[in-house]
Amino acid sequence: MLWADAKKARRIRTNMWKHNIKFHQLSYREMEHLRQFRRDVTKCLFLGILSIPPFANYLVFLLMYLFPRQLLIQHFWTPKQQIDFLDIYHALRKQSHPEILCYLEKVIPLISDSGLRWHMTELCTKMQRGTHPAIHDILALRECFSNHPLGMNQLHALQMKALSRAMLLTPYLPPVLLRYRLKTHTTVIHQLDKALAKLGIGQLTAQEVKSACYLRGLNSTHIAEERCRTWLGEWLQLSCSLKEAELSLLLHNVVLLSINYTGTRR
């Protein structure tokens, strides 16, 4: 399966080079394949580096057996491991949710516009009460996330660390690299969203829907397919309304749209 993925990724890359096609111009499935393959290759390269010293390959086999979640890609997980490991990863990113909501509450006094300040207070109150927010409640705050105090370039180091954990990215980097990785990761998701909106959610298989939801912050392993499609539709409605300067709002939606969604495990 990994070899087949590599050949498909090579075909896509060759086609991009021949026809001068950019990443964001690819179809949804081609974009998603390249994104996932890039992550898989990173893990494989790490194992390859560990195997370089003489006889180290024996140690690598032992490490793969002891730490399959950290060292092996999903092709090598059993069906039970896939569910268990996705639950573990979601539990890790969920630990950052209260911290991210706390930062949103802290910036309320910094919002100069009284109307936006009221909307942010209402949103935080709803989130604390366990209410799933409506799309228009979130979009009403887009101005706060494009400039001060929550624009991508205005986020503080601790905020970026919490958001990185929510995106399953390493938080142990300098602030400059944290900001760059968050921007890059969010931009890719935004491009995927546009391609998916063009394709249509109805064209996705059940597994593709659940994978798309999981990437965007929802623990879809224990939610019915139809509810996943409904949630993904809400996400696309919001994402496709945003401009590039407002991607900080898309980044925060990993928490805002998933934390109180009906059927999500607490």
Q: How confident is the model at residue 213 (pLDDT cuts 50, 70, 90)?
A: very high
Give the mean pLDDT of 195-211: 96
Q: 248: burial class by Cβ within 10 Å (0-12, 13-18, 19+)?
A: buried
Residue % of the chain over a pLDDT of 70: 98
- How far from the centroid of its chain's Cα atoms is residue 119's Cα? 25
pLDDT of 45 over the 90 cut: no
Chain mean pLDDT for the chain: 92
Give the mean pLDDT of 101-126: 94
CA-atom Rg of the chain in angstroms? 20
- How far from the centroid of its chain's Cα atoms is residue 157's Cα? 19
pLDDT of 135 over the 80 cut: yes
Higher-pLDDT residue of 2 and 154 is: 154
Give the mean pLDDT of 153-164: 95
| pLDDT the model gives residue 77 | 87
Residues 6+ apart with CB under 8 A from 74: 40, 82
Residue type, 192: L
Residue % of the chain over a pLDDT of 90: 77
- How far from the centroid of its chain's Cα atoms is residue 48's Cα? 26
Decide if 255 contacts 101 (C-beta within 8 A). Answer: yes
pLDDT of 108 over the 60 cut: yes
- Tens of pLDDT, residues 79-90: 899 999 999 999
Higher-pLDDT residue of 44 and 230 is: 230
Enter the pTM of the model: 0.90
Three-class HEC string of the chain: CHHHHHHHHHHHHHHHHHHCCCHHHCCHHHHHHHHHHHHHHHHHHHHHHHCCCCCHHHHHHHHHHHCHHHHCCHHHCCHHHHHHHHHHHHHHHHCCHHHHHHHHHHCHHHCCCHHHHHHHHHHHHHHHHCCCCCHHHHHCCCCCCCCCCCCHHHCCHHHHHHHHHHCCCCCCCCHHHHHHHHHHHHHHHHHHHHHHHHHCHHHCCHHHHHHHHHHCCCCHHHCCHHHHHHHHHHHHHHHCCCCHHHHHHHHHHHHHCCCCCCCCCC
pLDDT of 262 over the 80 cut: no
Q: How confident is the model at residue 117 (pLDDT cuts 50, 70, 90)?
A: very high
Distance (Å, rounded) from C-alpha 169 to C-alpha 161? 9
pLDDT of 61 over the 90 cut: no
| pLDDT the model gives residue 266 | 45
Indicate if the alpha-carbon torsion angle 88, 93, 99, 100 is positive or negative: negative
Distance (Å, rounded) from C-alpha 63 to C-alpha 85? 17
